[in-house]
Every structure is written in C-alpha cells, then in structure tokens.
Amino acid sequence: MAFALSVPLFSQQISRDLFTAMGAYRLPDSSFAMIGMIEDLPVIIFQDGSIRGLRKSGKTYEIGNALGLFDQIEGTVEFGRKKSGLVIVRDGNTQTGARIPLSQKDLDFRNGEIQLHGTLILPEGNGPFACVVMTHGSGPEKREASLGLAGLFAGNGIAAFIYDKRLVREMGDKWQDDSFQHYAEDAVAAARILAREPAVDPSRIGIFGHSQGGWVAPLAASQSDLFKFVIISAGNAVSPVEQHLWSGTRANRQDGVREDIIREIYDFRKIKYKAGITGDSSEYKAALPVAMQKPWFRRTGGNLPTGAFWKLNGYYDPEPALLALKCPVLVMGGESDNHSNTAENMQKFKEIFQRSGNNRLTFKVFPSADHGYFETATGKFMETELRELKRFVPDYFDTLVEWTRVVTSN
C-alpha cells in the first residue's frame, strides 16, 4: 500500500501459502486488507493504515503488535478456508475477506535500444480506466516494489502500471544507476504503450513518483503531454546533493553533534561532492588532510561519491521540469521525513509553481509521517525503527485515491 510494500517473487524465506495469498481482500464492512511484504517482513495492512506483522503458527498466521514485533499476539489469519479468501480473528471478532479480483497483463516495451518489462494492474469491471504509471525510488527497484500501491489504486477503480527499472533483471548485481533523463524517457515510453491499450483511457494517464521518483515523474511529464496529472511523493525541489547534505545534517543533529561541528562536516561534504561529481579535486585535496585529523571525519561518508548516480544526477536542477508542468499536481510530504526537508521543499515547490502560473495544485503534509508515510512517535530515521512501526499516517491512502479520482473524473 505504500512505496515499500511489495509482493516479491517466491523465495525460500516466504512460505508458498503466504506467497499465494498475497493481494487485496474486501472485508464485510467494505474496507480492505492487504497481505504483502515490507522489506523482508510479511504483513497485513488494513484500510485505516494499521500495519501488523504475520508469523506462521501451524495452519494459521499470528498477527503481531507492530510491523515486525510479536511481543503480544493480537489475532490470527487463515488463508483459503471455505474459499472465503481469508479469515481474520482479531479483538474477539471474526471477519472473512474475499480476494479483490484484480487482473494483470504483462507488457514489454522499448525506449530506444533498452527493453523494458512491466505489468498493467486492472480494476474490476469494464474500462477504459484512468491509469497511474509508477516510477521508481533509488536502487535496483523491480516492479514488485510498486505492487502494493498499484493494488491500492486498482482496488479503487484506477489502473496502475508497474515496471522494472531499466536493466535490473538483465544485469542483476552488475546493475548501475542511470540518468534521471533516461528514467523519464522510460516512463514516457510506458505511457505510449498504455495509450494503445483498450483497457486504458489515454486521456487519463498520470504518473506517480516517490523519493527519487519525485525528480523523475515531473521530468517525464514535462516532456510528454500523455501525462495528464502528476503525483510527487516525498520528493525534492532541490538537487540530490542538497538533499543528501541536509539528510546527513539531520542524522548528526539527532546524534547530538554540536552545531559548529555539524557546519564543519557539511562544508567538507559539499567540497567532497564537488570533487567526486565534477572531477575538480583541488579544493578537496587541500581540505582532506585537515579533515582527516578531526574527530568528526568518520561522519563524512567515506570515499568520494564517484558512482554513476552522482556523476549523472548529483547537481540535477528540478526547477525547469516543474516550471513546465501545466497539469494537476499533488505534492505530498511527511513532517518527520529525515531524508527530505519537507518544510523547505514545500516552500520551494509553491514558489516555483507560482512563477509557472500553474494553479492546479494540491499540497499535503502529513504530521508525524516519515519518508515512507509511516507514523513515527520518535522522529527517528525510518530504517532504524521499521520493525516497531504500527501504521501508516491517517488519510495517506484516502488522499492518494480521492485526489486521483477527482482529477480523472469525466
């Protein structure tokens, strides 16, 4: 249901009955439940946003008391009983859920010489449907990483297209990052193939981008009028270098590092990015011997950022693409996001769109939301407290679905 929720390919760590059961279910009160994975953790997610881990116990699965904790067992889930789909026993109540029959169609498409592979997730009923193209976050992301949100959209009458990041399956651990421009071109190529699909309404195709995708989605939409709406989720109106510098500062501040030292670390890291990305290392060579004598040097991130991602995208300026958008745009962020400076980014987004003249905008900041829209009471980095999290923030699911419904209504 969120960027990190996926239904992965079968592995030895996932029992076959759980793998088979993964998907969306309609409960008697018309709400839904989703069986899936967050990172390597089997979970059940309810429409109110609550998340609970699942642990096999005989023929059933125990429901834990958080995403990855089983200090208390809150209930059980059984799959396939009496063909009902699933049976949930929780809080003294028994609910049966029927699987929501979403259909899937695999689609291969090309961007120049690059072969791409995707899956169209279709709602119940007859189309043509509005459709959301799901771009990728950072790293070698396969289509399964977007299957949760695709299920959320499709379960609410909106088709979704998920696809593997370029060359991920072909190259395996040899995969390398590419440019935002190429990722945007891939998304445009996806929209072209979708526009020819009978089940998709070509006048209602949009694009969703979370985190790294928050740079790619508006870039793609700025280069093709096939995209009629854009969703920017936990995105940035600044460059990747600026975003990483801020996130590093956030981590140091949470660790109690003094402000004067934080500034020294920031200044050195800025010099290091410049050297790694541009190849001009004169300033870095002068600063390095001094920095290596400082107690804070271990906080500066190790080697120069010379990888493909940084060289291709480190100083990417998102402003031109944002200025070019004339379609409806939803910009979402989490108040407790430690990876992106939500307050600063929201202000920059608003300033840019004000200059562009685009007033078809919706801004939504979720209180207590981290980078993945999980509700955090501690404000820690999402990765450090993932197993202890209990829910997505209120209104997250509803905001995505209702805004998309409104902008795609005929």
Q: What is the pLDDT of residue 1?
A: 32
Does pLDDT of 65 surpass 80? yes
Q: What is the mean pLDDT of residues 99-117?
A: 94
pTM comes to 0.93
Q: What is the pLDDT of residue 8?
A: 35
Q: What is the pLDDT of residue 83?
A: 60
In the three-class reduction of DSSP (H, G, I as helix; E, B as strand; rest coil), residue 136 is classed as coil
Q: What is the pLDDT of residue 5?
A: 40
Q: What is the pLDDT of residue 357?
A: 94
Q: What is the pLDDT of residue 22?
A: 83
Binned at pLDDT 50, 70 and 90, residue 11 comes out as: very low
Q: What is the mean pLDDT of residues 218-232?
A: 98
Least trusted range by pLDDT, from 98-112, 220-234, 321-335: 98-112
Binned at pLDDT 50, 70 and 90, residue 409 comes out as: very high
- Summarised one tens digit per residue, pLDDT across range 40-52 is 789 999 989 999 9
Does pLDDT of 62 surpass 50? yes
Does pLDDT of 2 surpass 60? no
Q: What is the pLDDT of residue 394?
A: 92
Q: What is the mean pLDDT of residues 325-329?
A: 98
Does pLDDT of 10 surpass 50? no
Binned at pLDDT 50, 70 and 90, residue 171 comes out as: confident
Report residue 81 as tokens. 């009983």
C-beta neighbour count of 260 within 10 angstroms: 7
Report residue 221 as tokens. 């939409």
Q: What is the pLDDT of residue 105?
A: 95
Does pLDDT of 147 surpass 80? yes
Q: What is the mean pLDDT of residues 341-366?
A: 97
Nearest to 185 by CA among 110, 242, 238, 108: 110
Q: What is the pLDDT of residue 343?
A: 98
CA angle 167, 169, 135 (to 5 degrees): 65
How far apart, in whole angstroms, are the C-alpha atoms of residue 210 and residue 335? 15
Q: What is the pLDDT of residue 81?
A: 63
Could you identify the residue written with the tokens 């790694």? Answer: 276
Q: Measured in whole angstroms, how far is the alpha carbon of residue 288 from the centre of its chain?
A: 36
Q: What is the pLDDT of residue 145?
A: 85
Least trusted range by pLDDT, from 70-84, 92-106, 226-240: 70-84
How far apart, in whole angstroms, are the C-alpha atoms of residue 166 and residue 185? 11
Residue pair 215/209 in contact (Cβ under 8 Å)? The answer is yes
Could you identify the residue written with the tokens 């140091």? Answer: 252
Which amino acid, one-letter code, is at 14? I
Higher pLDDT, 31 or 19: 31
pLDDT-above-70 percentage for the chain: 95
Q: What is the mean pLDDT of residues 362-383?
A: 96
- Summarised one tens digit per residue, pLDDT across range 391-407 is 999 999 999 999 999 99
Which region holds residue 408: left if phi is over 0, alpha if psi is between -120 and 50, else beta? alpha
Q: What is the pLDDT of residue 84?
A: 65
Average pLDDT along the chain: 92
Nearest to 281 by CA among 303, 265, 261, 298: 303
Q: What is the pLDDT of residue 80?
A: 81
How far apart, in whole angstroms, are the C-alpha atoms of residue 147 and residue 86? 20
Nearest to 385 by CA among 338, 329, 317: 338
